[in-house]
Structure 1
Amino acid sequence: MLLRKFGRYGLLVIDEWLLNKPDSLFRAMFLELMELSYGSSSTVFCTQYRPKNRHARLGGGLHAEAIMDRIVHGTVWLETGDVNMRDIYG
């Protein structure tokens, strides 16, 4: 039920993406959510990690590959640089 609710949003914003390494239950749920919204809505990922590190932070393996496959196709990357505003103003 929760997946269908989130899957219906036109825009889903995921802040602090991969700050904590997800467990297998989260990866399975997230893969299904990405599958539901693939091609029909937009998702914004806010993260501190570069694209090359995301597969490993997702735990590697089949779920990580499938999730990244759904994320990277049709993606627009916006790099904001290396400045950490939390270090400056936090």
Structure 2
Amino acid sequence: MSGIDMETTRKLRDMGATALLEAIDAEDELLGMGFEERLRLIVDEAYATFTHGKVDGLIRRAGLRYPAADLRRLDLVEQRGLDAGVIAALATCGFIERHQNVVFQGFTGSGKSYLGCALAKQACQHRYRAHYIRMPDLEEAWATARDKPQGTTKFLKKYVPNVHFEAAW
């Protein structure tokens, strides 16, 4: 147990600061350090845990078909007709800031879904919300939304970022 009292421990838990509490416990052996240095290490550890949890949540909510997909582990990039420079540029997620779309086109089994999942996961790691959906499923969701009151507005709010809809459909 950490060097802090039970009441402080309770308050940290009540505030949802369990990552901070765990970091304090992990840093107990550094008591020879000054207060500021210990606090910096504790906060750094808690922040890393917090950030990791946020990214994991974004990845989980993205509904990825291949949650382990990773742009850094693409096999046979050039042999598949992929440009390594384009993949590296996509990995920066600059296309999101520029409001650009990315479309993957290819034969069945060519790795489009894996690539899409890897790119969505990369976006999550940059703290963007992502959602994986195949085109046939998107078309079906659109058709279903059109048949419901306010369905198209809700659909567009879900799939189109930073757009406000006021017009009646």
**Highest relative contact order (Cα 8 Å, sep 6+), 1 or 2?**
1
TM-score (norm 1): 0.34
- Structure number, greater radius of gyration: 2
Comparing both structures, which one devotes a greater share of its residues to strand?
A: 1
TM-score (norm 2): 0.22
